[in-house]
Structure formats: C-alpha cells, structure tokens
Amino acid sequence: MCGIIGITSNKSVSAAIINSLRKLEYRGYDSAGIATLSNNEIFELKAEGRVDNLEKNLSISNMKGNVGIGHVRWATHGIPNNINAHPHSSDTVSVVHNGIIENSTILKKFLVSKGHNFKSQTDTEVIVHLLTEYLKTDELIVAITKTLKQLHGSFALGIIFKKQPDLLVGARRGSPLAVGYGPNENYLGSDSYALKSMTNKITYLDDGEFCLLKKDQVEFFNAYGKKINKKVLELSSNEAIYDKGDFKHFMAKEIEEQPITLKNGIREYVDNINNDINIYNFPWQISEISSIMLIGCGTAYHACLMAKYWFENLTSLDITVDIASEFRYRKNKFKPSTLYVFVSQSGETADTYAALDLCNKNNAKTCAIVNVIESSIARDSNFVLPIHCGPEIGVASTKAFLGQMLILYMMGLKLGFMNKDINKIDYVNKIKDLKKLPELISQTLLTDDKIQTVTATFNKAKGSMFLGRGFSYPIALEGALKLKELSYIHAEGYPAGEMKHGPLALIENGMPVVVLAPRDDYYKKTISNMQEVIARGAKVLLITNKSKDEVFSENIWETIEVETSNNDLLPFLLTIPLQKLAYYSALKKGYDIDKPRNLAKSVTVE
C-alpha cells in the first residue's frame, strides 16, 4: 500500500516521476505528491485524489530538479487530503513513506518539546522531524541510523536532503523497496513494476537496510550504518503485458486472459510425455510431512480454503487453513512435520509475510505460492511455486485466483500421488482432465448476456447472498467478496447448509441469492437449500454445470450453466460467472472497476 518512486539523474526528473506514479497507482490512490531538489531548494506539489489531479497543476511542468521523490497514498493516519498527502518536508529534508509508524504519538510529543511544528495528521511527519533534529548535530549516516532506530512499525522510505544536491536515500523495514540502475541515473521504487519501464537491473533492500543513491553511485548499509554489498538481479521485462489493449479495464482483460494463464501454468508444471506433475526441487521427502497449513488473506485465503477440500480428497494429510492476520497472533504449535504454505499474488502482503516470518523463526518448513517471484514472500520461503499468470493490475484479483487454485490443485495431486493416496490411473486421468481446463474456461467465458441482464436486480437490492456446499463453498465466499469490493453491494457468502442456523432470517421478497449447485456430490443437498430460500421469496440465480438432466425445482429466477468437467475442476468454472457478475454490476453503476474505493492492490500494511 502506498507507492514510492525516487530518481536521481543528470537530467530533470519530474516527468519520469509522474510517469512512474501512474504505474504505482494500483497501490493507493487517495492522493499523490512529488518533491524535487534544485539549487538547494525543495519544491513540493501535492493533490488529493488521482495522479491526474497532480498533473493538472500547471507548475508541475516547471518543476526543476535532477533528484526527486514521488508518492501515491493509501491513507492510514489522517484523512486523504492535500495536507496529509506525501511528501512531507521540513526546511532540511523531504520524505515519502509506505507503512505505519506505531510509536508516532510518543515521538511527536518528544519532537514538539524540541520546538518542531507539525503540519499534517500523518505518522510520517515524525520521520521528517527526527531527521531534521539529528542532522543539526550529526553527519548524514549517523542521523539516518539514529532516526531509523527510533521508529517502531513498518516502513519503506524515500528521502531527499536540501544540502545534498544529488542524493536520494531509501530505507526499508517491513515494507518492500527496490533500487534500480540506469544510465547516468538510479532509482528507488516500492516495487519492480514501477521501475520496469526504466530498468531491468534491480536490487531489493532487506529489512533494516538503507541505501544512498547518486546518479552514478549506489551504496548499501545495514541497520548499524555499516556498508554492505548486495546482488543486482536482472528482471525479465515485457512492457506489453502492462497494457489494457482493447479492453475498457484491466479487470476485463484479466478475466479474459484466464484460459491463457491456466495454459501457461499447466505448461510450466505438467510433464506431457509422462503425464506427471513436476513440483521442481521439492526439498523434502513426502514421509517428512504429515500435515499442511495453508495461509493467505482475502481472495488468496479463499484459494487456501479451496485447497483444503482438494487436499483432503486427494491426500491423507491433515489440512488446516488460516487467515494470515489471525495466524500471526495465534499461539501456534509449530511441528517439524507440518508444511506451511503461503499463498499471495503480490508476495508482499504484510500479514502473510509476518506469518511466514514467524514460521521461519520457528524453523518450520515453508512454501510460497506467489505471482511475483521477486517478492519478499518468495525470497524468504524455503520453496517457491510461481503462479506464472503475468502481472495482475486490476485491484480485484481474478486471474491470480485461478492461478493460485491451479498450483494448489496440482500440488495436492502430486502430494497425493507421492504419498500413495491416489493410484497411478486416477493420477494420470486427473492430469488429462486438467489439460482440458483452459478450453472449458474459454467456453464458459462466452456466457455473457444472461449475467449482464441479472445485474440490474443486484444493483437495486439492499443485499445479496452467495451459497454453496463442499467444493462450491469457497467459491461462494469469493463471489461475494468480488461483488462487494467492486459494486459496493452488501454480499455474504455462506455454506448453504448453514442458512437455517441464522442467515435465513435475512431472506425477504426479491432478495437476489446466488446458489452454486454443480452436479457434484453435494448437488441434491444444495438444491434442497435453494428451495428453502425460494420459498421465502429469494430471487435465485442458480449456477450449475451443463447436464442432460433437468434441474428439478420450480421458481428459479435465472440459471447459468458452465461447462462440465470432473468434479475437482468445477470450482474453476463456477468462478467465471461470479467474476463477470461483479464486473458488469460495477460497470453499470459507473464505478472505478480497476481501483475500487478504499482498496489497494498490494496490502503492505497490517
């Protein structure tokens, strides 16, 4: 959350900073700002709302300076307005910050007692004044180390100094930060995505480290101010995949890309000659693992929950699932025979990272399923299974969800086979079925018209429900999450069997209820639950799979049929109409689909 960019160059930097801020907007879009340094003066411009608003300010084109920092904000301390927007500056330094300073109130008291005046409601401003205070007496490196030592919480920082003409400083604890190398210029960015248009040579800062960048020099330091060496990584770069193409929104593009991304995922892991799944270099013997714990947040958590159903069917291992923000504060009993699996599109989610860190500190076996392979979660796990679905820009996760489910399903299949829980024939048949999945997704993507017509009812409703049993239950949760985050309609996902235990009281005449009832082992039970909500006035949108058998139920409002596959794979197909329902519903309401209110793509604060 929040995006940071910094550039030190032999030419003016403001246009390049604005350009990079646009790429970073998916991380936060409450407000934006930029500060540059020229002739020992710091120039600062900020605007509430999008980068567009910042760029409308005419003085931006006249902003001089060969060194500068920029920021897009996702508010934590203080409302999103001009004053609270970053950068925050004193007459000595200017700072952009991603993260939360937990002891800012105490630090502020101390600084006010020293005569410092605060302008904003942000926690960030204490960093500005601490640095200003220490720089009165200390030389630069000492002032930086002293400041960082005082801060509790998480941060990625970009800093420029009035008296240091071409210097840009970066620091990291908890929130990601990367350094990029260019010709006669160097960069700082809160992720490689922002830097990719300028360079593919990158170094990631680790927790506690800071760096000093000049246009032709990069130096790294540890938390004690001692110089260290760091590796330069080369990133693959393909700018075209960051483009919306002919689509109106990234989300629409990402939904339609799903057959291709699944094909890529299958190609990466399935050995076509031997009909086998390669989970490359799996570092343990299967006999060393007796249980698996799956951990994630939001949509990634739903993928974990889905995996629990698959893993329990495919393996004899004990499977548990947890939300990362709960797991990290639980009194966990770490066992050497448990494999902890962390699922995250960005690989930077603060809670998921903290859960991983806790496991690492307890010497647990850890595995990351991530989309961004250079991410913190990937780097700090024992073992990584990349999703291979390309950058996901829309804030609401779509193709990454299917990608996460794909990897988890293949992992469950492979572990089940390695553990002799499923036989060779079943294993090979399931792999053969899996290879047909991208085509089935393509076919299911064609069911568009009906979804567009039902959205009007959802958009008028006070609230809605999504019901499913067994394999369909995690998908019901995901469908409800997509609808609420994009179209701001109250939506609850429930196990269909739970309705009688309370939620049935919410059903009233005309309430739209999505029932996921594919023809699997739970079908008849779910249909009974569906009849109970219809009897109480619900307008049921039934989502099932194609079959020669009719659905025996009266008064179903609308039915959508997805393609048919083996039962394991139906969750992938059921997800498609739910993604589209959320998309079209938000489209009709005219909402900002790729950047829903109050949200951000990469949740790097707790």
Q: Which of 359, 603, 605, 606 binds ligand F6R (CB under 6 A)?
A: 603
Q: Which residue among 2, 297, 304, 389 is the active-site one?
A: 2
185 vs 485 by CB, closer to ligand F6R = 485
Distance CA 382, CA 369 (A): 11
368 binds ligand F6R (CB under 6 A): no
From the CB of 302, what's the least distance to ligand F6R, in Å?
A: 8
Closest residue by beta carbon to ligand F6R? 298
185 vs 348 by CB, closer to ligand F6R = 348
Judge contact between 47 and 30, C-beta under 8 A.
Answer: no
305 vs 481 by CB, closer to ligand F6R = 481
| Residue 484 annotated among the catalytic residues of the structure | no
128 binds ligand F6R (CB under 6 A): no
Q: Which of 297, 515, 540, 587 binds ligand F6R (CB under 6 A)?
A: 297
Q: For residue 65, give both structure tokens.
A: 């300076």
Q: Which of 300, 385, 465, 542 binds ligand F6R (CB under 6 A)?
A: 300
159 binds ligand F6R (CB under 6 A): no
DSSP track, 62-105:
G---SEEEEEEE--SSS-SSTTTSSPEE-SSEEEEEEEEETTHH
The contact pattern for ligand F6R, residues 201-220, with x = CB under 6 A and - = no contact, is: --------------------
396 binds ligand F6R (CB under 6 A): yes
Q: Which of 124, 315, 345, 575 binds ligand F6R (CB under 6 A)?
A: 345
Q: Which DSSP helix (H) or strand (E) runs through 37? A: strand 31-38
545 vs 604 by CB, closer to ligand F6R = 604
Q: Which of 14, 20, 84, 349 binds ligand F6R (CB under 6 A)?
A: 349
124 vs 344 by CB, closer to ligand F6R = 344
| 298-314 helix and 399-418 helix, angle to the nearest 10 degrees | 30
Question: Exposed/middle/buried for 41, CB within 10 Å: 0-12, 13-18, 19+?
Answer: exposed
Distance CA 563, CA 505 (A): 33
575 binds ligand F6R (CB under 6 A): no
Cβ-based neighbours of 474, under 8 Å, separated by 6 or more: 302, 303, 305, 306, 309, 468, 571
20 vs 345 by CB, closer to ligand F6R = 345
From the CB of 481, what's the least distance to ligand F6R, in Å?
A: 6
- The residue written with tokens 């568009």 in the block is 448
Handedness of CA 250, 251, 252, 255 (dihedral sign): positive
Cβ neighbours around 273 below 10 Å, total: 6
Phi/psi class of residue 34: alpha, beta or left (left: φ > 0; alpha: ψ in -120 to 50)?
Answer: beta
36 vs 345 by CB, closer to ligand F6R = 345
From the CB of 485, what's the least distance to ligand F6R, in Å?
A: 6
298 binds ligand F6R (CB under 6 A): yes
386 binds ligand F6R (CB under 6 A): no
Helix/strand number for the chain, H first, E second:
18, 27
Cβ-based neighbours of 460, under 8 Å, separated by 6 or more: none
Distance CA 538, CA 496 (A): 14
Q: Which of 9, 94, 299, 545 binds ligand F6R (CB under 6 A)?
A: 299
Residue 543 pairs in a beta bridge with: 516, 560
From the CB of 346, what's the least distance to ligand F6R, in Å?
A: 3
262 binds ligand F6R (CB under 6 A): no
The contact pattern for ligand F6R, residues 427-466, with x = CB under 6 A and - = no contact, is: ----------------------------------------
Q: Which of the stretches 10-18, 249-257, 339-347, 381-389 binds ligand F6R when contact is defined by CB under 6 A?
A: 339-347
Distance CA 15, CA 499 (A): 55
Strand order in the sheet with 210-214: 88-89, 93-101, 153-161, 168-173, 210-214, 217-221, 227-228
Give the E-state strand segments of 274-372 in sequence order: 276-277, 291-296, 318-323, 338-344, 365-370
Q: Which residue among 399, 414, 595, 601 is the active-site one?
A: 601
397 binds ligand F6R (CB under 6 A): yes
72 vs 93 by CB, closer to ligand F6R = 72
315 binds ligand F6R (CB under 6 A): no
Q: Which of the stretches 29-37, 215-223, 244-252, 346-354 binds ligand F6R when contact is defined by CB under 6 A?
A: 346-354
74 vs 383 by CB, closer to ligand F6R = 74
Number of residues near ligand F6R (by CB under 6 A): 14
| Residue 304 annotated among the catalytic residues of the structure | no
190 binds ligand F6R (CB under 6 A): no
261 binds ligand F6R (CB under 6 A): no
From the CB of 13, what's the least distance to ligand F6R, in Å?
A: 29
Q: For residue 490, give both structure tokens.
A: 């109250």
Distance CA 131, CA 185 (A): 25
Alpha-carbon distances of 158 from 69, 105, 161, 179, 229, rounded to whole Å: 7, 22, 10, 11, 20
124 vs 371 by CB, closer to ligand F6R = 371
Judge contact between 455 and 581, C-beta under 8 A.
Answer: yes
| Cα–Cα nearest to 131, from 145, 119, 121 | 145
594 binds ligand F6R (CB under 6 A): no
Q: Which of the stretches 162-170, 295-303, 497-505, 562-570 binds ligand F6R when contact is defined by CB under 6 A?
A: 295-303
Residue type, 4: I
298 vs 479 by CB, closer to ligand F6R = 298
| Cα–Cα nearest to 125, from 180, 166, 83, 153 | 83
Q: Which of 66, 84, 154, 346 binds ligand F6R (CB under 6 A)?
A: 346
Angle at alpha carbon of residue 511, lines to 510 and 517, rounded to 5°: 115
From the CB of 301, what's the least distance to ligand F6R, in Å?
A: 7
| Helical H segments across 222-323, by residue range | 250-256, 258-269, 298-314
The residues carrying an active-site annotation are: 2, 601
Interface positions with ligand F6R (CB under 6 A): 297-300, 344-346, 349, 352, 396-397, 481, 485, 603
